[in-house]
Amino acid sequence: MIPSRLERSQLFVPAHRWRMIEKAVISPADAVVLDLEDAVPVEEKLTARVNVIRALTELEFGGRLRVVRLNSLDTPFAYRDLIEVVEAAGEKLDLVMLPKANAARDVQFVVTLLTQVEAATGLTQPTGIEVQIETAAGVLNIREIAAASSRLESLIFGPGDFAASARMPLEHIGERGDYDADYPGDRWHHVMQSIVLAARAHGLRCLDGPYARLDHPDGLIRSTRIARGLGFDGKQCIHPGQLNRVNVAFSHTPQEVAHAQAVVAPRPFASASCRPAVSLEGRMVDAANIRMAQVTLHRHAQERRTP
């Protein structure tokens, strides 16, 4: 299954900063995340929730996915975040993001609340769910989390909170620093590949977490290339200036598209699944190559429809 929505880039915006929200909805982001969690001080939580409702009901997102990140379930804010936002603006909301998911029951709790609010308000289009994997428990339970609900659309890596949970030294979120240079491999490979495999096994999207050093574009590019190489669909961004680089990194080049078109070009065989291996540009092409090319062309069609 190929995930149906395009999310090369998610732009996070603190929901208590109205001017930043206005700028975010006209940015190059595929998805705008109105953040009620880490970016919002405790004393601003209620103001932020009001701003989210106002943004969803008054602003034009221009085809960008409209996402609200809830506070985590171990706070007194999460259930009211979901109830108040969905009751007031559920018809304008595409996805809710659950941070720090530790087990399938966390997803199921959100599903239960969503189902009840939608029934009470007469909403007919169910809201999707994205889940951040950013704790040791979340990684260990990722298979069950990925299978927790048909509403689930995406698994997202949260490197900062994961580092804290696993007690891994980390200076800048998303950056590979001195400890990575000392380790004979990639310290983040296990958790990142686990997210990709769990997502793919259940037909979900998967996104990499943010890169926090705004003064280091080369580091951002390297981070995106690593994530794409592992199979991620996109990456979270914390500043509009990161969006174009991330969108490009997670888009197919004209050369990749042309090659995919050549691979799937009709040949005198009964079907793609039973074609014998043939040669194209000096390389073997078999059924696996055709499936990879079909994924590329499907994704490219989505990229062409972006705002």
Which of 133, 134, 215 is CA-nearest to residue 170?
A: 134
The answer to whether residue 228 scores a pLDDT higher than 60 is yes
DSSP 269: S
Given this model, what pLDDT does residue 2 score?
A: 47
Mean pLDDT of 49-59: 98
> Tokens in use for 87?
């009751």
The answer to whether residue 128 scores a pLDDT higher than 80 is yes
Query: For the chain, what is the radius of gyration of the CA atoms?
Result: 20
Mean pLDDT of 28-45: 96
Kindly indicate the confidence band of residue 176, based on its pLDDT and cuts at 50, 70 and 90: confident
Kindly indicate the confidence band of residue 15, based on its pLDDT and cuts at 50, 70 and 90: very high
- Residue 42's Cα: distance from chain center in Å? 25
Given this model, what pLDDT does residue 270 score?
A: 43
Kindly indicate the confidence band of residue 170, based on its pLDDT and cuts at 50, 70 and 90: confident
Considering the chain, what is the average pLDDT of its residues? Answer: 88
Query: How far is residue 268's CA from residue 123's CA, in Å, rounded to a whole number?
Result: 50
Kindly indicate the confidence band of residue 243, based on its pLDDT and cuts at 50, 70 and 90: very high
pTM, entire model: 0.86
CA distances from 211 to 177, 190, 224 (A): 12, 19, 9
Mean pLDDT of 45-61: 98
Asked whether 204 and 155 are in contact (CB, 8 A), the reply is: yes
Within 8 A by CB and 6+ apart from 213, the residues are 172, 174, 175, 219, 220
The answer to whether residue 76 scores a pLDDT higher than 80 is yes
Task: List the domains of the chain with CATH numbers.
Answer: 9-249 (3.20.20.60), 254-304 (no CATH)
